[in-house]
């Protein structure tokens, strides 16, 4: 693990995407109805959650260049899969309403994730500010302590 993120996490996301694309191709070939998409949609939702989790971890501990590039590729592939899934669902009867409901849930989850990331960033910034202030006050206290000890030394050795 480098910086707290395993290369396996991003590789797992890419492998899951490959599997989802294969499942979608199979469903398209068999001409399945909208209810056949439920397992596929559930896996897509889990994949989206995994991507957001890696993003959350990347806020606290930076990704390496390789991990960042792989994550970007995974995000693009997930977007591409999302578009293919949307097209397939919209072609099914009743698929449009099902697609809207599913995407509303995913968007709600995404919005909650964005709020969580913003909160993490805000807390990190506040911690950094607090540490900077503590260091400043500590330095001032140390300088004052040294000045007092120096004053006492001068008083004892030269004025007594």
The length of the chain, given as a count of residues: 160
Would you tell me the crossing angle of helices 65-91 and 95-158 to the nearest 10 degrees? 160
Q: What percent of the chain clears pLDDT 90, i.e. is strictly above it?
A: 23
User: pLDDT value at position 6?
Assistant: 56
Backbone angles phi, psi at 5, to 5 degrees: -115, 125
CA 132 from chain centre, in angstroms, equals 26
pTM of the model: 0.57
Banded pLDDT at 3 (limits 50, 70, 90): very low
User: pLDDT value at position 7?
Assistant: 60
Is the predicted pLDDT of residue 51 greater than 50, yes or no?
yes
The mean pLDDT of 53-74, rounded to a whole number, is 80
What's the CA gap between 150 and 145, in Å, rounded?
Answer: 8
């Amino acid at each position: 693990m480098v910086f707290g993120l395993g290369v396996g996490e991003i590789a797992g996301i890419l492998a899951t995407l490959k599997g989802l694309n294969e499942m979608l191709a199979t469903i398209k070939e068999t001409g399945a109805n909208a209810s056949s998409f439920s397992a596929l949609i559930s896996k897509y939702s889990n994949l989206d959650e995994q991507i957001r989790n890696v993003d959350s971890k990347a806020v606290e501990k930076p990704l390496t260049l390789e991990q960042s590039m792989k994550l970007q590729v995974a995000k693009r592939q997930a977007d591409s899969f999302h578009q293919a899934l949307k097209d397939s669902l919209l072609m099914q009867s009743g698929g449009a309403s099902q697609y809207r409901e599913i995407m509303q849930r995913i968007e709600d989850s995404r919005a909650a994730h964005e709020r969580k990331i913003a909160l993490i960033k805000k807390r990190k910034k506040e911690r950094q500010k607090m540490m900077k202030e503590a260091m400043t006050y500590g330095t001032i206290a140390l300088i004052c302590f040294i000045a007092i000890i120096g004053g006492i030394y001068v008083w004892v050795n030269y004025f007594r």
